[in-house]
Chains A and B, each alone.
Chain A
Amino acid sequence: MKSPSARKLRVVVAKPGLDGHDRGAKIIARALRDAGMEVIYTGLHQTPEQIVETVIQEDADAVGLSILSGAHMTLVPRIVALLREQGVDDVIVTVGGTIPGNDIPELERLGVAAVFTPGAPLRDIIDFLLRSVGDRTPA
């Protein structure tokens, strides 16, 4: 079992699909890094398979998926399912981007821990990760 207090939080920031809007992902990656986390940014145009592989290889505590192309209802379920197939059940999955409000309950039902839409303060995202990774593992 991982002990978040013993090491830096490891977060994969990923850009699934063909969407090239990487402003948000890069800002988040930098903010998490500045907050003392170990950040692995995948770069653009990643397949769900590639993202899941990165999460496993990097032994990540959390993965943030940035999607602004409207393809979230195809990509996110696929990534969540692949993680399950690979037996990964302790990684916090978050989604950020242009996500209409009425898609959020379905994403949460699939196991997404939080959805951050445009305007979400960086501090909230950082705090959320610290809290939820902490909650996940008994102290």
Chain B
Amino acid sequence: MLNPSTAASVPTTYEDWQATYGLSSERTGPFTTLSGELVKALYTEGDLPDPAAIGLPGIYPFTRGVYPSMYRGRLWTVRQFAGFGTAEETNERFRYLLDHGQQGLSTAFDMPSLMGHDSDHPLSLGEVGREGVAIDTVDDMQTLFGGIDVGEVSVSMTINAPAAIMLAFYVVAAERRGIRPDRLSGTIQADILKEYIAQKEWCFPIDPAMRLLGDMVEWCSTDMPRWHPVSISGYHIREAGSTAAQELAFTLKDGLTYVEQAIDRGLDVDDVAPRLSFFFNAQIDFFEEIAKYRAARRIWARELRETFGARNPKSWLMRFHTQTAGVSLTAQQPLVNITRTAIEALAGVLGGTQSLHTNSYDEALALPTEDAVQIALRTQQVIAHETGVTNTIDPLGGAYFVEALTDRLEQLAYDYLRRIDQLGGMVEAVKQNFPQREIADASYELQTEIDAGERVVVGVNRFQGQGDAEIQTLRIDPALERKQVDRLQGVRARRDARLVDATLGELRDGAARPGENLMPALLRCARAHASEGEIIAALQDVWGGYRETPVY
């Protein structure tokens, strides 16, 4: 029992606490999130939103998760991204991963493939098979998935500007094995708007690029019912230096723009929206990231239901993949990156991600070694099986700070959505460099804070000097480039050159006719063994290329 005099000195109300806090000393701040949002010393019941905004998992507005059972039902999918060398090397890695229990495949393409250049293009020199697998023709695609039952295994492909061409290669490679497109399941990233905003791997001006995407989405809606034709990606926006709110707003607006385009083409919102999925970053500011995912679910559900009138509840679900932040990794004391990645991955999990990629500790230096990849994989397994965070659904739901921050991010995102609408929509905003400029400013501001030592990066501007010892990094054999160029030139020598010219000619004609869906022409080019670079060049003959006016 407390005696009355002691009880009187213990703060019992918020005001009492505030008075006592005012008397105590405070560390030197800044008390802000990584994105610069002010954080109060204490959050209480008074900061909670309307209980309906929090809700329950699997129920609109899905703040607490898209499924009623979340990780009590099944854990997130471990989806590590892989690809290097030629199709042969990556095929070996894919089969190894499948033999070791991975359920789906995730394909990384090399830079030339991402930019629509063949491996023997002058700009491809030194880049072939280096950051991903080199794919030039349908023959490479066939080798890539040789011995893998693509009618059963779901395949993700991270490629954007040339997505429709790569999808045509994939469909034709499957067709040659007697597998129809309606049996193929997987995802192609194809998020072209974020290329102009952040990732900068483009082939065409924005308008024809949007048309090509629309053609692919429309074709998939009838011919590939199990396929996810776009994965709307905030990951690269964040890596380019955006704040959490910018990542949230620009990504959702890109997604809403694709939905609008599909509706404009006469598709039903409920046929398109359930097959869209998202891809977000997991940065190091733990609570800000969790709040970001929760706000994203709520905004998407509301916009799809209220603004677009979607009736199918599946259209309201913002399902997403998470990858830990490459930019948070440091070249100094690289083993410390294991800790950063673990914390970021935990944020993704507590934010309710559907799948997760954890980065390897050596990625500020090079592509990861096998040992480093294994630690990254084990990090997910520790979170899944040792920490206990998966025992209950959305364990942070209702936490004063988390809910208040979720609300704050939602408000900040809506501010951006309004500004983009005022500029005439996302396509127009991108043409005016609006998101690009916002991101450049945010990234510069953060860097100046780090340089000034106001924001601590362990091993970089504080606690430097120990553990910088050299670690072994992965080296890609330069002979693989020669091997891929030989493969491509072999295909060119064997194919029917007249058929290639004829199909490329048809493609050019189709590109010049705005109302025509280009997927059938692309499939014919693929069947004729036209190369990716030749197909892109044919389209560029009609549409031109793209050159940005950089803002910094």
Contacts and interface: CB of A to CB of B under 8 A. Distances in A.
Nearest to A19: B111
B126 A17 contact: yes
A73 interface: yes
A22 B440 CA distance: 10
B364 A118 contact: yes
B444 A27 contact: yes
B130 interface: yes
A27 B240 CA distance: 11
B470 A18 contact: no
A118 B240 contact: no
B132 to A, nearest CB: 10
B152 to A, nearest CB: 33
A99 B473 CA distance: 10
Contact of B550 (A22, A73, A100): A22
B443 A101 contact: no
Interface in B212-238: none
B470 A119 contact: no
Interface in B330-357: 330-332
B365 interface: yes
B126 A73 contact: yes
A74 B240 CA distance: 25
Interface in A5-40: 17-23, 26-27, 29-31
A44 interface: yes
A102 interface: yes
A29 B444 CA distance: 10
A119 B331 contact: yes
A70 B239 CA distance: 18
B330 A69 contact: no
Contact of A71 (B127, B447, B549): B127
A110 interface: no
Contacts of B39: none
Interface string B77-118: 000000000000000000000000000000000011011010
B124 interface: yes
State the main secondary structure of chain A at its contact with B: loop
Contact of A20 (B130, B199, B451, B549): B199
Contacts of B448: 122
Interface in B352-402: 363-367
A74 B111 CA distance: 14
Contacts of A45: 115, 123
A47 interface: yes
Contacts of B32: none
A23 B327 contact: yes
A121 interface: yes
B50 interface: no
Most buried by B among A27, A29, A43, A47: A27
Given A20-B200, A100-B473, A26 B547 contact: no
A54 interface: no
Contacts of A30: 440, 444, 552
A74 B125 CA distance: 7
A122 B448 CA distance: 8
A75 B124 CA distance: 11
A118 B331 contact: yes
A123 interface: yes
B533 interface: no
B131 A23 contact: no
A123 B444 CA distance: 14
A20 B201 contact: yes
Interface in B277-336: 327, 329-332
Contacts of A71: 111, 126-127, 130
Contacts of B117: 18
Given A69-B131, A73-B126, A44 B548 contact: yes
A43 B130 contact: no
A19 B122 CA distance: 14
B547 A43 contact: yes
Contact of A26 (B331, B364, B552): B552
Nearest to B460: A119
B127 A18 contact: yes
Interface of A: 17-23, 26-27, 29-31, 41, 43-45, 47, 69-71, 73-75, 98-102, 117-119, 121-123
22 contacts: A17-B123, A18-B127, A19-B111, A21-B239, A23-B327, A44-B548, A47-B123, A69-B131, A70-B130, A71-B126, A74-B127, A98-B366, A99-B365, A100-B365, A100-B366, A101-B365, A101-B470, A102-B473, A118-B329, A118-B331, A119-B459, A122-B448
